[in-house]
Chains A and B, each alone.
Chain A
Amino acid sequence: GESVGLHLPTLSVQEGDNSIINCAYSNSASDYFIWYKQESGKGPQFIIDIRSNMDKRQGQRVTVLLNKTVKHLSLQIAATQPGDSAVYFCAEKNNNNDMRFGAGTRLTVKP
């Protein structure tokens, strides 16, 4: 899962396997969440979002799961490819309608 600090959590998976990246959020009142992908030297890129009235949302090869009881969010990537290697971070909408971002998890896909 994500944490704040100098070293990002890392996840290494084999090409073709499924990846699960976790995120713990802090505000039980947050009603909207986003997952971003950030490749080296680039800006964050939107992957998928989910509102708090949903438990699950699927996109192309990605699924986001929301567990409000334990304030946990996960991103599942099916059939992970080398191009999926990046830092992934979640963001929650806070009370001021601004987004609060996690530090991220570095995903490495081994060929």
Chain B
Amino acid sequence: NAGVTQTPKFQVLKTGQSMTLQCAQDMNHNSMYWYRQDPGMGLRLIYYSASEGTTDKGEVPNGYNVSRLNKREFSLRLESAAPSQTSVYFCASRPGQASNKQFFGPGTRLTVL
């Protein structure tokens, strides 16, 4: 199993550009998450999907949208990137209600100029 995969690994955008971060998991997990990690801070939840077909806002959803394309894939979209969105983005998945353990992808390092 590859676990949780993310693409791209690195991305540089100009202010106002848009892009989509891709995430996929092959563990048949029900729940998926998008976090951002900024220097010296803990992971902050952007959006999550408790199950296929549902999405909910997390702690810092402004400026982002998500799509749970199917059970495997959960994408994060920046419609108009801003320098404040420069961060490392992590996708995670969780089996479901029976387990609180989250499995993380390798991250996408995004810089917005």
Contact = CB atoms under 8 A, between A and B. Distances in A.
Interface in B1-45: 4, 35, 39-45
B45 A103 contact: no
A44 B43 contact: yes
Contacts of B43: 44, 91, 101
Contacts of B40: 4-8, 103
A32 B99 CA distance: 10
B80 interface: no
Q: What interface size band does chain B fall in?
A: 20 to 34
B42 A46 contact: no
28 contacts: A5-B40, A8-B40, A32-B100, A34-B100, A34-B101, A34-B102, A36-B104, A41-B106, A42-B106, A42-B107, A43-B4, A43-B92, A43-B105, A43-B106, A43-B107, A44-B90, A45-B104, A46-B101, A46-B102, A49-B100, A89-B42, A91-B42, A91-B43, A98-B58, A99-B102, A103-B40, A103-B41, A104-B42
